Amino acid sequence: MPNRVVYWNGNFIPEIEARVSIFDSALMFGDMVFEMTRSFGRKPFRLREHLERLYASLDYVEIDCGLTIDKMESVTHEAIEKNLPELEGFDFQIMHDVTRGSGELYDTLVKEGTDPIVSINMLPLVRHTGGLADKYVSGGHLVVTPQQAVPARYIDPKAKNRSRLHYQLANLHASRMESGAMAVLTDERGFIAEGTGSNVFIVQDGQILTPKPHDILRGVSRQACMDFANELGIPVVEADIDPYDCRTADEIWLTSTPFAMIPISRFDFRTVGEGKPGPVYTRVLSAWSEEVGVDIAKQAQEYAGLMQTWKP
């Protein structure tokens, strides 16, 4: 049994004891926001950016978590420090979850009371990235699903929330199309929006394009990818991209916190470019790996090797 601890409303408790009530608004309504940061070389990557997005999400859903952003940052570092011995040898996720808490209706039934619950947990990334290791080498298959993105005027996807049924349905559609396929959602006009946990980039004639930041979560890795590309002198343009552009693109990749960048070698059952990770993808991922001092693709291979024996 792992001895990791979880920050839980001002205390540190064993991970196994961190449980929300069946009356919590998160379970009742998906009424909560969250963040997932990761470490590289056991140091959090762009933690402040993740926390700024968390506080923007909290503001959007009108939850007062009771902590300033500075306090949230310092308890996060404290939680990391406490868990470092248990996370020995691994990079890890740093998950911030904030639920609205349970409604007044259930006030006598919930031992922790009706206030919002703030929790912060850490978990090695072995399964997250190990399971994707082969995709860094041969590329993933990205398919457009019938399930579309939720327009920002309904529930704004810029707020990272757990009302994620539409992403799950898109994943189901994709896996029915082909086992292991990854889903991409279009917006209501038919333009590419985002993956179910990732942002999309394509390359056309040496230029990198990514969807405009409207009906998407504005990924921290999306921004990091744009920063690394800019440092390499490769222009990045935010544009309306339709599935036709993806079909004719030289390269496609996805960005997301756990895996940084995954290349796409097939789009809707057709080969992308040369059918393998392209030169622009490779350059940007190398710049990223160099900056954080971790060979990101190689680490995924190492974690893939551990997956059979390692238990969370």
- List residues near ligand PLP by CB under 6 A: 36, 194, 197-199, 217, 219-222, 255-257
Query: CB count, 10 Å around CB of 312?
Result: 9
| Paired residues of 123 in beta bridges | 93
120: Cβ contacts below 8 Å, ≥ 6 apart: 6, 7, 75, 76, 79, 94, 95, 96, 97
Sheet holding 11-14, edge to edge: 11-14, 5-8, 117-124, 92-99, 32-40, 43-44
Q: Quick one: 114 or 255, whose CB is closer to ligand PLP?
A: 255
Tokens of 223: 């921004």
Q: Closest separation between CB of residue 216 and ligand PLP, Å? A: 6
Q: Quick one: 6 or 216, whose CB is closer to ligand PLP?
A: 216
- Residue 131, judged by CB atoms within 10 A of its CB (0-12, 13-18, 19+), counts as middle
Tokens of 81: 């420090």
Q: Closest separation between CB of residue 252 and ligand PLP, Å? A: 15
Q: Closest separation between CB of residue 255 and ligand PLP, Å? A: 6
Q: Quick one: 102 or 199, whose CB is closer to ligand PLP?
A: 199
Q: Closest separation between CB of residue 225 and ligand PLP, Å? A: 9
105: Cβ contacts below 8 Å, ≥ 6 apart: 23
CA-CA distance, 27 to 162, in Å (whole number)?
10
Q: Quick one: 117 or 150, whose CB is closer to ligand PLP?
A: 150
Q: Quick one: 121 or 198, whose CB is closer to ligand PLP?
A: 198
Residue nearest to ligand PLP (CB): 219
Q: Quick one: 222 or 266, whose CB is closer to ligand PLP?
A: 222
| Paired residues of 236 in beta bridges | 208
Q: Closest separation between CB of residue 108 and ligand PLP, Å? A: 35
49: Cβ contacts below 8 Å, ≥ 6 apart: 220, 223
Q: Closest separation between CB of residue 52 and ligand PLP, Å? A: 11
